[in-house]
Amino acid sequence: MIDIHCHFLPGIDDGAKDMDEALALIKLAVKDGVTRIVLTPHLHLGRFDNTLSVIQSAFSALKAEVNKENIAVELAYAAEVRLDSEILTLLTNKQLPLYGNYSGQQFMLLEFPHSHIPAGSEMLVKYLKNKNITPVIAHPERNRDLLESPHKIKPFIRLGCWFQVTASSITGHFGEACQSLALAYIEQGFIQIVASDAHNLKRRPPILSQARDKVTSLFGEEKAQQLFHNNPYNITASLFEH
C-alpha cells in the first residue's frame, strides 16, 4: 500500500511532535503494509506557515534518520494545502510542494475547511486546472457542507478533481455519518484514493489495512487495489524517481 496523506514530519504542524514520534509512526505504517509514504504537512497560511524550504529541511532530517535505522520504506514529500487565494502566489513562485506528474497533469493535495466549502472554491479549482494542476481534495466525507448535502461534491467532479477519503472514516472512527458518506462516495465511483491522514500513534494512527479489508469485502479486490495502490502510485511515482 502507498500512503500519500500523513503528518509525520516532526515539529512543523499538528502531527508528529518530534523525531522519535515520527520514526514510530513510520515503523507502524510499514508494519501495517505500507511501502511508500508521501509526507504532507499542513500548509495553512496564518496557522501553519510552512514554506517549501522548511518542509524540505524537515524531510531531509527525517529521511536521514530512517536510513540510519534501515527502515524498509520509500519516502517523498508534498503538502496538504489549505484552500486560500494566497496559494496562487506561492504557485506562481514555485513554492508549493505538489505531488507528481501523471497523464499531463500535476497533482496537489487540497484541503477545504471542515466547516464548509468556501465561496470561490470552484473558481480557484478552475484556475488550477487551467495550469494543468488537478486538485486531490482531502477527506470530503468529513466536510460539514458535504455531510449535509452530499450532491455539493458534483461541481468539483465535473471540474476533474480527484478525491481522497480517510481510512479511519471507512472504519467508523469519525462516526457513522462520515463512514456512510465515505462508503457512498466510493460506491458511486467518486473516490480515487484512500490515505491515512495520520497525525499520531493513539488517536489517529497510520493504519490502512483495516479500511482496505472493508473496501475489499464491500467492493472487491480490484477497487481496493485502485484506491490503496494504483492511483496513489500513479500520481506520486515521479516524486520517487532519483
Which tens digits make up the pLDDT trace of 17-34?
999 999 999 999 999 999
pLDDT classification of 185: cutoffs 50, 70, 90 = very high
At 241, which helix (H) or strand (E)?
none
* Radius of gyration (C-alpha) of the chain in whole angstroms: 17
pLDDT classification of 49: cutoffs 50, 70, 90 = confident
pLDDT classification of 44: cutoffs 50, 70, 90 = confident
- Comparing CA positions, the residue from 71, 70, 87, 68 lying closest to residue 79 is 87
Cα separation values, 123 from 155, 203, 212, Å = 11, 35, 34
Mean pLDDT of 163-187: 98
Write down all domains in the chain, each with its CATH number in brackets: 2-240 (3.20.20.140)
At 163, which helix (H) or strand (E)?
strand 162-166
Provide CB contacts within 8 A for 56, sequence distance 6+.
Answer: 77
Whether pLDDT at 160 is above 70: yes
At 31, which helix (H) or strand (E)?
helix 19-31
How many other C-beta atoms can be found within 10 angstroms of the C-beta atom of residue 81? 24
Mean pLDDT of 184-202: 97
Which tens digits make up the pLDDT trace of 79-138?
999 999 888 999 999 999 999 999 999 999 999 999 999 999 999 999 999 999 999 999
Please give the grid coordinates belonging to residue 52. 517549501
| Distance between CA atoms of residues 182 and 142, nearest Å | 8
Contact 145, 152 (CB under 8 A): yes
| Distance between CA atoms of residues 82 and 87, nearest Å | 8
Whether pLDDT at 142 is above 90: yes
Residue 214 corresponds to which amino acid?
K
Whether pLDDT at 10 is above 80: yes
Whether pLDDT at 242 is above 70: no
